[in-house]
Amino acid sequence: MRRVGTSTTRRTFLAYVASAISAFIGIVAGVPVLGYLVSPLRTKQEATWVNLGRVRDFSGSIPQVVQFTLTRRDGWVEVKEARSCWVIPSGGGNFLVVNGRCTHLGCAFSWKTDGEYAQKFYCPCHDGVYDQEGRVLDGPPPRPLDRLETKVENENLFVLYQDFQVGVSEKTPL
């Protein structure tokens, strides 16, 4: 039913059409951009089994660093990332393996054999000190070193490598 005295002019009609087309284009262009911005928040890095070497290579009681390269896929892009972990023999063919990143800011730490920090893990970035089990002894680290799951297959030591958030008290996977 048409009201008398009200009519839509051509100019008003074209303004409505232009607004609708603009809104449609904005939504179509905005959805992929929004997905791109939000996707890192909802994607988690997956843990990867890594072969660290022969079990016999980790004899003794001194922690040993093992460096390796992970290949991660992000869409069509393959990224190679250098990573490390520390293998600590704990007797009876058992091993404690910790992530090679300090839990404070993700810096690399090392095992000290002499000096003030002898027989301890030491992170020089902010003087973080850990014992051989990875427990915090001194400094700003908010939690112990991140332990990783291990398994032995065919005389090889494997670790389920994963990075965790740094600077927080909870061990939270990235």
pLDDT digit of tens for each residue in the chain (174 aa)?
Answer: 455 556 778 888 888 999 999 999 988 888 887 777 776 666 566 788 999 999 999 888 899 999 999 988 777 788 899 999 999 998 778 899 999 999 999 999 999 999 999 999 999 999 999 999 999 999 999 999 999 999 999 999 999 999 999 999 999 998
Same domain, 72 and 113: yes
How buried is 87 (Cβ within 10 angstroms: 0-12 exposed, 13-18 middle, 19+ buried)?
buried
| Residue 167 lies inside a defined structural domain of this protein | no
Same domain, 34 and 103: no
Domain at 67, CATH number = 2.102.10.10
Same domain, 146 and 76: yes
| Residue 138 lies inside a defined structural domain of this protein | yes
Same domain, 67 and 108: yes
- 8 Å CB contact between 95 and 87: yes
Retrieve residue 97's tokens. Answer: 């393996």
| Residue 173 lies inside a defined structural domain of this protein | no
Same domain, 89 and 137: yes
Three-state secondary-structure class, residue 42: helix
Same domain, 52 and 137: yes
Which residues are 127's β-sheet partners?
none
Q: Tell me, what DSSP letter sits at residue 101?
A: B
Same domain, 5 and 70: no
Same domain, 36 and 110: no
Same domain, 37 and 59: no
The count of domains in the chain is: 2
Same domain, 139 and 80: yes
Same domain, 4 and 75: no
Same domain, 39 and 81: no
Domain that holds residue 15: 1-43
| Residue 140 lies inside a defined structural domain of this protein | yes
β-pair type (64-74, 48-54): unpaired
Predicted local confidence at residue 32, as pLDDT: 82
| Residue 171 lies inside a defined structural domain of this protein | no
Three-state secondary-structure class, residue 47: coil
